[in-house]
Structures are given as structure tokens and as C-alpha cells.
Structure 1
Amino acid sequence: MDKKTKKVIWVILILFGIYRIVSGAINLTGPTDPNGHSEIQSHQRAEKQLDAPEDSIKSGQNDGDMHIDYEPEGADDQEQSLETQDSSESKSSSSLEESGHYYARDDVALYIHLYGHLPDNYITKSEADQRGWSPGDRDYVVGGNRFGNREGKLPKKPGRQYYEADVQAGYTHHRGPQRLVYSDDGLIFYTSDHYETFEQLY
């Protein structure tokens, strides 16, 4: 066999080897589906879907039916905040003792709502005059005198009587414009502008 023939045989063997390699690579990918994915790729996608958590992903018949269930962030914190708020309100109600002295608007309003009268640190106008009281006396607050409701800005009812009480936070060199006005049947209002407007608290 001459050199030329050997060279031809080697070329044929090399080409045959290349053909075997290319054919093997094609067989590894396998046939494709209508979407252009090979069977191996489709199989891998199916395995990933099966491995997904059952409680977070629900699949329909088509990929378009897949949706994820989730709980909004902060839901637990919001629920806990509401429970804390309810607990705080209950604590505020139970912490107001009938024998206690109270000065803040909301505390005094709640006290009237709970017990039906002003705290003991409130004195009427006549009692204030007898004591020589002034707004600088931080131990006592003026309240308990009748309020006539002559302008009719508050709800009227036969037999209903209103009373007024100062809010110490409004005190300067005089009694200030802030008042609580409450009725003998449970209504409680707040005015910040000396009876011009009212906000109902209870």
C-alpha cells in the first residue's frame, strides 16, 4: 500500500470519527417538543415543579394557571399592635382610681365617664374664692359648676343638666379657654375655644 492510499484511509477514519461524535451529541439532547425544548429539558422542568413547596405554589392544568399564595408582610405585627392597643385601653380604664387626682383632659373625661363625677382635686368657683385660689395653684382645678347651654349648641333633653370643668393644660395667668362640659346622663364634650365649638368625647 502506497503513501497516498494510506493518507486517504486516515482521512476517511477521521471523518468517520467526527461523524460519530456529532451523532452522539445529537442523541444526548434527544428529540424536541413543539415548543423547541428537548425531552431532557422538559423532564428537568417537570422535576423542578414537583419539588416546589405544596403550600406556596398551586398549579392548574396550564402554566398560566400557576399562582403563589402569600401572607402580606406585617400582618402579624398589625394584629399584635391591635392587641396591645386594646390591652393599653383596658389598663387605662382600670388604672383610674376613684380616689385619685387627675388633670389631663382625657383622664378627667374618662374619670367622669367611669364614676359620674369629677376627681377630688376639682373645686367649684365658690370654693376657689374661699381658698384664694389662682391658676398658679397646680394642686386644684376649677370645675363642677352648672353650664346653662343657653345657646343650644349641645343636645337638649327635658331634665338634662350640664356642668363644666376646666382643663388645667389651658391655664396661663387666667383659667384659659379649654373646658370639659358633661351632663348628668353621661354626655361629655370638650371645647378648646371657650364654648364656641364642641367635640363629643362620650
Structure 2
Amino acid sequence: MTVQARESGSGSAVALATLPSEAQRTHRAIRSGGPFQYSKDGVVFGNRERLLPKHPRGYYREYTVPTPGLSHRGARRIVCGGAVPVAPDACYYTDDHYASFRLIAQ
């Protein structure tokens, strides 16, 4: 069940515990400030797709969710928004490289 965040304003929620274990580990790393496996983790996410709620540039940051068996970053990401990266206002999960997002509920 994947719902685009644009449709409902904040997307349909998905429980953190139901996400793949790699996503749960990435979420914990975000909350603790790392370490992260990829140099692009923590970079500003521009929301060019406009699927997430609108905020000023720099509000969102993206993090890779590793995919077992791949030698590259793959399509899975967590995108979090907020002024303090280790205490985000909201985080979203995508497993299709930004085509859709689900709000992560804790």
C-alpha cells in the first residue's frame, strides 16, 4: 500500500515496526546522528517531485535505506524534515525512488 503524500497532505502512515529492518536501522541512525554508510546521506532533498508537504529548501534531508544484494544505493530512502536532523518533525519512506512516500508513524 503506497500512497502519494500529495494526495492526503501528509501521506498515509506506515508503522516503523512494519518497515524493512534496514529502514528501521536507518531511522535509528538518523535519530542518533549517524554513522551513515553513504556520503550522500543527510544531504538536502529538494522535493522536486512535490509529493511531500511544501517547505523551504533545506527543510528535508534524505538517507539511503540499503537494499540487500545491491552494490549501489538502490531505490529505498527515508526523507526527514525539520530544523534539527536528529529530531525531525516528520520522516517519510519511499521504496520506489521518490515516486511515492509514506509517513513513518512511531
Q: TM-score, normalised by structure 1?
A: 0.34
Q: Distance in 1 between matches of 2:70 and 2:96?
A: 14
Residue by residue over 1:58-86, the C-alpha shift from the partner in whole angstroms, topping out at 9 and shown as x without a partner, is: xxxxxxxxxxxxxxxxxxxxxxxxxxxxx
Q: In the alignment, what sits opposite 2:85?
A: none
Q: In the alignment, what sits opposite 1:165?
A: 63
1:107 aligns to 2:30 (yes or no): no
Pick aligned residue for 1:189 from 92, 99, 106 = 92
Number of equivalenced pairs: 80
Greater RCO (CA < 8 Å, at least 6 residues apart): 2
Q: In the alignment, what sits opposite 1:152?
A: 50
Which 4+ residue blocks in structure 1 deviate beyond 4 angstroms? Answer: none
Q: Indicate the RMSD between aligned Cα atoms, in angstroms.
A: 2.5
Q: By how many angstroms is 1:122 displaced?
A: 3.9
Q: By how many angstroms is 1:160 displaced?
A: 6.0
Query: Which one has a bigger Cα radius of gyration?
Result: 1
- Percent identical pairs in the alignment equals 32
**Relative to total residues, which structure has the larger helix share, 1 or 2?**
1
**Relative to total residues, which structure has the larger strand share, 1 or 2?**
2
Q: By how many angstroms is 1:118 displaced?
A: 3.8
Describe the SS at the equivalent of 1:172.
coil
